[in-house]
Amino acid sequence: MDKKLRIDLTRVPKHVAIIMDGNGRWAKSKGMNRVFGHRNALTAVRQSIEAAAEIGTEAITLYAFSTENWNRPSTEVKALMTLLVNSLNSELKTFQENQVKVNAIGNIKSLPKKAQQTLASVIEQTKNNNRIVLTLALSYGAREEIVNAIKNISKKVVNKELDLEKIDENTINNHLYTFNLPNVDLMIRTSGEQRISNFLLWQMAYAELYFTDVLWPDFRQEHFYDAVIDYQNRERRFGKTSEQLTK
């Protein structure tokens, strides 16, 4: 039976976040360097976006490059930035055809100028697409995001633009990079690692976490559907009891 047919389309996760892990190990298993793994991961990206769009998921966020990734060897970082530019250019036509709206979060100004320009161009050209929002987390760290939010909120309090007593969860949400996205319902991490790795810490407060041993370059639509099926088999209580949910 087609795994997609097992999915209840009335209960799909609105926002799926993915930690794309395992490129280096995949490449090493083939006797190649890490960059080879990154270059062969585009199919996994494409199929994940397609699978999410087909079942009606509103948003998918990919952890493409963390703030900690800047500490990797300079040759790998340079290759990743070049791959980012090339991939955005090569996939633009597909984004347009499939109504994918591209978004980005993180310290975008820390990216090389060429990457910033290409990213800005693709975001502008896809801004009116409305099937699914693809967010690329680039030079992203959740702790840094929260620190920046606190700083911006504090400035508004000092400048008397915001009443301290009126600060609530919505205030914080509105000062995060993801202010225009729903909270994460499902987080997928590939390669068998079971960590969140400083990714969307606030937004994943009630997310269901799904870990798979599949290495990212091998990840396909069927694996995405496996995660969604597992998600739908869980009871999401948000702090309530099972009995409360049935009333």
153, 162 in Cβ contact below 8 A?
yes
* CA distances for 168 relative to 28, 39, 76, 147, 165, angstroms: 47, 43, 41, 16, 8
**Is 6 part of a structural domain of the chain?**
no
Residue 154 lies in a domain: yes
Instruction: Copy the structure tokens of residue 185.
Output: 């319902």
Cα–Cα nearest to 15, from 105, 108, 139, 119: 105
5, part of any domain: no
Residue 139 lies in a domain: yes
- Tell me what the mean pLDDT of segment 21-50 comes to: 95
- The separation between CA 27 and the C-alpha centre of its own chain, rounded to angstroms, equals 23
Bridge partner list, 16? 60, 186
**Above 80 in pLDDT, residue 243?**
no
Element (H, E) at 24: helix 23-29
Question: Which phi and psi (to 5°) does residue 14 adopt?
Answer: -70, -35
Residue 154's pLDDT is what? 98
- Pick the catalytic residue: 40, 69, 107, 129? 69
Name every residue whose Cβ is closer than 8 Å to that of residue 201 and which is 6 or more positions away in sequence: 142, 143, 146
pLDDT at 155 over 70: yes
Binding residues for substrate: 22-26, 34, 38, 66-68, 70, 72, 189, 195-197
From 156, 238, 181, 149, select the one nearest 61 (Cα to Cα): 181
Q: How many whole angstroms separate alpha carbon 119 and alpha carbon 225? A: 29
pLDDT tier, 242 (very low <50, low <70, confident <90, very high otherwise):
low
The catalytic position among 2, 8, 21, 170 is 21
Helical residues (DSSP H) of 40-112, grouped into ranges: 42-55, 74-97
Residue 8 lies in a domain: no
- Does 7 fall in a domain? no
69 included as an active-site residue: yes
Pick the closest to residue 212 from 187, 185, 184, 235 (CA basis): 187
CATH code, 179: 3.40.1180.10
User: How do residues 227-236 score in pLDDT, each as one tens digit?
Assistant: 999 999 998 7
96 CB contacts (<8 Å, ≥6 apart)? 125, 126, 129
Core vs surface per residue 155-188: b (16+ CB within 10 A) or e = eeeeeeebeeeeeeeeeebebbbbeebebbbbbb
Helices (H), 98-197: 113-125, 142-158, 169-173
- If one counts the domains in the chain, the total is 1
21 is catalytic: yes
- Confidence class for position 4, pLDDT limits 50, 70, 90: confident
Residue at 204 is within a domain: yes
Domain of 58, in residue numbers: 13-246
pLDDT tens-digit map of 183-220: 999 999 999 999 999 999 999 999 999 999 999 999 99
Does residue 246 have a pLDDT over 90? no
Question: Would 146 be classed as within a structural domain?
Answer: yes
Detail the residues annotated as belonging to a binding site for Mg(2+): 21, 208
In this predicted structure, what is the pLDDT of residue 241? 54
How many CA atoms lie less than 13 Å away from 127 in the CB half-sphere? 6
